[in-house]
Amino acid sequence: MVPKKDSITRGAATAAILAPALLIGLDLTDGATRPGYQLTRHWISHLSLGDRGWLGTVKLVAAGLLIVAVAFGLRDRAKPLNATPRGATWRPVALAGLALLAAAAFPIDPGLGYPPGASGQQTWHGGLHDLAGLVVVVALAVTAWRLGRDLDADSATVRAISHTGQRADAGAEPTGDSTNTTTAGDIGAPADTDARPARWRKLGRGVAALVVAAFLTCATLVTLDHAGLVTGAPGGLFERIAVYAGIAWLGVASARLLTRP
C-alpha cells in the first residue's frame, strides 16, 4: 500500500505536468480553430466567450484545480522541512490556481472585436476578471522566483548530505593522515555545494522577469489597440508569453522539487 504522503506527492507531481500541458494545448488548439479569434491579438480569456465559450471556461477551471493540487503537494512536502525556504512557496502557487478559478467564475467582457459583433460594454464581472488575471500574473512571477530559490536550496542540501556521507566513508578507511583527509573534505564540500545551484535561482529570476515584462508589454499594446492607435496590436501574443512561461516553469520546477529525495 502506498503511504498517504507519497500518494499526495505523486499526485501533485502529476498535476504539475498536466497543468501547463492542458492549458497551453487547449488554448492553442481552441484559439487556432475559433472563427474570428486571433491568437496574437485576443486574450486567453476571450475564449470563454462565444459559441464554444464553455471550453475556454473548462480550461481555466481545470488548470486552476491542478495548480491548487500542486500547492497542496508542496505544502505537504514542506511540513517536515520547515528549515528550508520551500515551506512558503505553496502559497503563491495556491494563489495562482485560485485566481484562475476566479477568472473562470467571472467572465471577461467582450473586446477587441471578439466575439464578432458583440459590444464592448464594461461590466462588474469583467472588472473582477481583470483583477483576477492580474493576480494570476503576479502569483506566477513570485512563484517562478521562489521555485528557483527552492531548487537551489534542495540542490545544496542533497550535495551537502552526499559529501557528509563520502567523508564518513573515507574516515572508515585507514589513511596516512586523517587530519589532512578531513580538511580536504571540509574544503571541497562547500565548493561543490555552492558551484552549481545558482543556475536554478538565475533561471527562476529570468522567468519571473519575462512574465512581468511580457505582461506589461501586453497591457500597453491592448491599451493602444482599444484606443485605435495600433489596431490589431499583438497584445494576445505577449499575454501568452507571460502566462505560458509562468505556468510551464511552475509545472517543471514543481515536479522536479516534488520528486527529489
The 10s digit of each residue's pLDDT in 77-113 is 765 544 444 458 899 999 999 999 999 999 999 999 9
What the block records as the C-alpha cell of 25 is: 494545448
Q: Taking a C-beta distance cutoff of 8 angstroms, is the pair 114, 226 a contact?
A: no
Which residues are 111's β-sheet partners?
A: 114
Does 174 have pLDDT greater than 80? Answer: no
> 154 pLDDT band (50/70/90 cuts)?
low
Measured distance CA(93)–CA(63) in Å, rounded: 12
pLDDT tens readout for residues 12-24: 999 999 999 999 9
CA distances from 121 to 49, 103, 113, 115, 127 (A): 14, 18, 12, 12, 11
> 2 pLDDT band (50/70/90 cuts)?
very low
Query: What is the number of domains present in the chain?
Result: 1
Q: What is the DSSP string of 155-200?
A: HHHHHHHHHHHHHHHHHHS--S-HHHHHHHHHHHHHHHHHHSTHHH
Average pLDDT score, the chain:
84
Mean pLDDT lowest for which of 10-14, 67-71, 140-144, 154-158? 154-158
Question: Which structural domain range is residue 176 located in?
Answer: 4-259
Q: State which amino acid sits at residue 115.
A: P
Report the b/e string of 116-140 with b at 16+ CB within 10 A: eeeeeeeeeebebbbebbebbbbbb
pLDDT tens readout for residues 64-78: 999 999 999 999 876
**DSSP-based three-state secondary structure for 50:** coil
Q: Taking a C-beta distance cutoff of 8 angstroms, is the pair 208, 142 a contact?
A: yes
What percentage of the chain reaches a pLDDT higher than 90?
A: 67
